[in-house]
Amino acid sequence: MCYAIPGKLVEIRDNIGIIDYFGEKKRARIDYSDVSIGDYVYAQGGLLINKIKEKEALEILDAWKELFFELKKIDAKLPRVQKSGISESVLEALNKVNSNRELSKEELLSLLKIVNKDELRLTFETANNIRQKKHGNACCVHGIIEFSNYCQSNCFYCGIRSGRDIKRYRIDVDEIISIAKDAVIELNFKAIVLQSGEDIWYEEEKLIYLVKELRKLNILIFLSIGDRSPDTYKKLYEAGARGALLRFETSNKDIFNKIKPDTTLENRLELIKNLKSLGFVLATGFLVGLPEETCEDIINNILLTKSLKPDMYSLGPFIPVKDTPLEKSAFIDKNTLLKTIAICRLADNDANILVTSALETQNSAAKKEGLLAGANSLMVNITPKEYRSLYRIYDERAGSEKGIKENINDTLGLLYSLGRAPTDLGVK
């Protein structure tokens, strides 16, 4: 089974390759491999990651062909809701999106405040249609390895904060390489996210070695390692990493200062901008439902994410964690989350939007609903079980009791039931 389909490179314009997937064209940045028109290639996260032999590609494509068109049909057949019972203002806002006009902040805010069931459904459906119009049925599936739960930061929301008494682990660099190798060779992953607490035990040289070894697997390497100097990130880019996932968590300075004692919003944003300018495929976003957060904060979070021009939106519900300063906070409701996803899509039509496991943890149906409210990307946790249960950024994470293969089968089953195909998403 594949998490990306190879395509044929049909055109090169400067450093952008046009890749054909069964007649559907997507763009990908070329900076890893030497490629020529006519080559069969894999792309991930909008980046061409490697080329493969024609014979191998044709075999994979042959196996995929029927399913590819079948999935497209399923995706195209998704139910349409009636427009009766919808207020004029909601209809007007959604029509505006449908005719490619930008929504004002007030309009976004009013969509976030919708409670009427029919209006909610129409909002999700509109976001889903725009996802389909912009990206077809493509869906990115990345594997994530959580390699250390040591953290020197003491963020109030986080279950692996330094001040929380939990069992800690670090996966040795060679073991991380072997986990990644299995994921690529046995399970066919094409993109791997490496995530950890802020753990400087993995000093620059260790990370450079890790990235160089992983790059030999011809995959897209995504880093989610928190605060490191731009210089370290630059070296990791040179070693072969091309993705960086770093959320700003909240655009509200006062909330930020209360929950993230070890840094400032300004510093975090500066690092995020630096990552973008270094050339990283950038995933960024925020937590939804932090204490004292208002609807306006959520819209500001969406607009700030958009202004950072991310390649991927990453957002999820804040889940209160036992024995942390925010343990008594309220859970955010599912509809607010789904509306946030939908509004990201309505505010930034081309966006790639990740459904995170926090969403699923909070509500088991939410992953599917997120994919039907505008999201088009997800991650499968490939951390070995014994470590996964210790990576407690929040407790009782969805899927943490399952084996990796079971998680993958569930994910693919869900994608296929929705008619989504794991082609690359393409760059804007």
Q: In this complex, which beta carbon is closest to ligand SAH, that of residue 256 or of residue 394? A: 394
| Cα(209)–Cα(205) distance, integer angstroms | 6
The reply on whether position 249 binds ligand SAH by CB under 6 A is yes
Residue 358 near ligand SAH by CB under 6 A: yes
Which stretch, 39-47, 97-105, 112-120, 312-320, contacts ligand SAH (CB under 6 A)?
312-320
The one among 45, 143, 316, 419 contacting ligand SAH by CB under 6 A:
316
- C-beta closer to ligand SAH: residue 379 or 421: 379
* Nearest in space to 236 (alpha carbons), one of 267, 264, 262, 205: 205
- Reported as type and span, the H/E element at residue 108 is helix 105-112
Residue 67, H or E segment: helix 54-76
Interface region with ligand SAH, contact rule CB under 6 A, candidates 79-87, 180-188, 210-218, 315-323: 315-323
In DSSP notation, 239-293 reads: HT--EEE---B-S-HHHHHHH-TTS-HHHHHHHHHHHHHHTPEEEE-BEE--TT-
β-strands 377-381, 140-148 pairing: parallel
Stretch in the footprint of ligand SAH (CB under 6 A) among 80-88, 113-121, 133-141, 318-326: 318-326
Asked if 367 is part of the footprint of ligand SAH (rule: CB under 6 A), the reply reads no
Q: Which of 121, 131, 190, 247 binds ligand SAH (CB under 6 A)?
A: 247
What beta strand segments (E) does 149-182 contain?
none
Residue choice 159, 325, 370, 419 for contact with ligand SAH (CB under 6 A): 159
DSSP state of 182: H
| Piece in contact with ligand SAH (CB under 6 A), picked from 56-64, 82-90, 153-161, 368-376 | 153-161
CA distance linking residue 247 with residue 170, whole number of Å: 22
Site track for ligand SAH across 106-145, x = CB under 6 A: ----------------------------------------
Residues 6+ apart with CB under 8 A from 61: 5, 6, 22
Considering the complex, state which of residue 198 and residue 213 has its C-beta at the smaller distance from ligand SAH: 198
Closest CA to 359 of 385, 380, 332, 382: 332
* Position closest to ligand SAH via CB: 226
CA dist 384 and 5 (Å) reads 26
Q: Which two tokens stand for residue 182?
A: 């299995």
x/- mask, ligand SAH, residues 258-297, rule CB under 6 A, reads -----------------------------x----------
Read off the tokens for 415. Answer: 């994608």
The Cα–Cα gap between 369 and 364 comes to 10
Cβ distance to ligand SAH smaller for residue 198 or 424:
198
Q: Which stretch binds ligand SAH (CB under 6 A): 51-59, 60-68, 79-87, 151-159?
A: 151-159
> How many C-beta atoms lie closer than 10 Å to residue 366's C-beta?
23
Task: Pick from 97, 140, 259, 321 the residue near ligand SAH by CB under 6 A.
Answer: 321
- Which range of residues in 41-49, 52-60, 152-160, 403-411 is near ligand SAH by CB under 6 A? 152-160
Residue selected from 50, 123, 224, 411 as contacting ligand SAH according to rule CB under 6 A = 224
CB atoms within 10 A of CB 98: 13
To ligand SAH, the closest distance from the beta carbon of 94 in angstroms equals 29
- Residue pair 51/41 in contact (Cβ under 8 Å)? The answer is yes
Element (H, E) at 28: strand 24-30
Smallest distance, ligand SAH to C-beta of residue 409, A? 25
Biggest CA–CA distance in the chain, Å, is 61
Q: Does 158 bind ligand SAH (CB under 6 A)?
A: yes
251 closest CA partner among 196, 195, 307, 198: 307
Minimal distance, residue 320 CB to ligand SAH, in Å: 7
R_g over Cα of the chain? 21
Segment 189 to 218, residues that bind ligand SAH, using CB under 6 A: 195, 197-198
Binding span for ligand SAH by CB under 6 A among 16-24, 164-172, 241-249, 364-372: 241-249
Would you tell me which residues interact with ligand SAH (CB under 6 A)? 157-159, 195, 197-198, 224, 226, 246-247, 249, 287, 316, 318-319, 321, 358, 393-394
